[in-house]
Amino acid sequence: MTADARWSLLTRLWQSFLDSAQESQVVILEDGDAVDEYIQFKRNHTILYGEVGSREWDVADKRRPLDAAARERLAGLGFTHGGPERNYVCDDLARTAPYLADLFLRLHVAAYGSVPVSLTVMSDVGAVRTLAGPLASSPKRSPWAWDGRRHVEHAGSWDALPEWAQDWIRKAEEGPLWVVLGR
């Protein structure tokens, strides 16, 4: 895919996502030749946040953690380490298709060293999958979504919270992330 064709596709995908995504819907773009290299975006409480895959899996033989230079480049773009999967996250991103297309490319280069060779698109937004055509699929639900919630709900104190939950609460105190503790 040429650089112009990639840019055009990314811009149209982002516009479709911005126009159609409902609460908690996602779009995940991954390198078709290296599926552990992905960047995902999610709409959550009207906030758009992004996440770059860390490749720090629980299975030791599948781990390929990002090097220190990649982590530093991501931090320079506002993406910090956190969450149950130890990915690099940033919340309250600007909501324009050209910005998000450019951000995706900059994040991919920062984290993985290059623009993706081939692109696959996973999304639970029908309009995005339709636009992506043969590149598209539906994402599988992460087991962390419910497990992480269970760990937070059963924590009896700040120290009992998982590190990722403490990181998210600290971020909420600094910005627009919404956190509700207890019931």
How confident is the model over 134-183, as pLDDT tens digits? Answer: 888 776 654 444 445 556 677 777 777 776 677 667 665 665 555 555 54
DSSP, res 164? H
Taking the C-alpha atoms of residue 72 and residue 110, their distance in angstroms, rounded to an integer, is 9
Structure confidence at residue 61 as a pLDDT band (50, 70, 90): confident
pLDDT of residue 55: 85
pLDDT of residue 145: 44
Alpha carbon of 92 to those of 47, 56, 121, 178: distances in Å?
5, 24, 22, 11
How confident is the model over 74-102, as pLDDT tens digits? Answer: 999 999 876 666 789 998 898 899 999 99
pLDDT of residue 58: 64
pLDDT of residue 107: 96
DSSP, res 73? H
Please provide the average confidence, as pLDDT, over all residues in the chain: 81
Residue 16 has pLDDT above 70, yes or no: yes
Residue 71 has pLDDT above 80, yes or no: yes
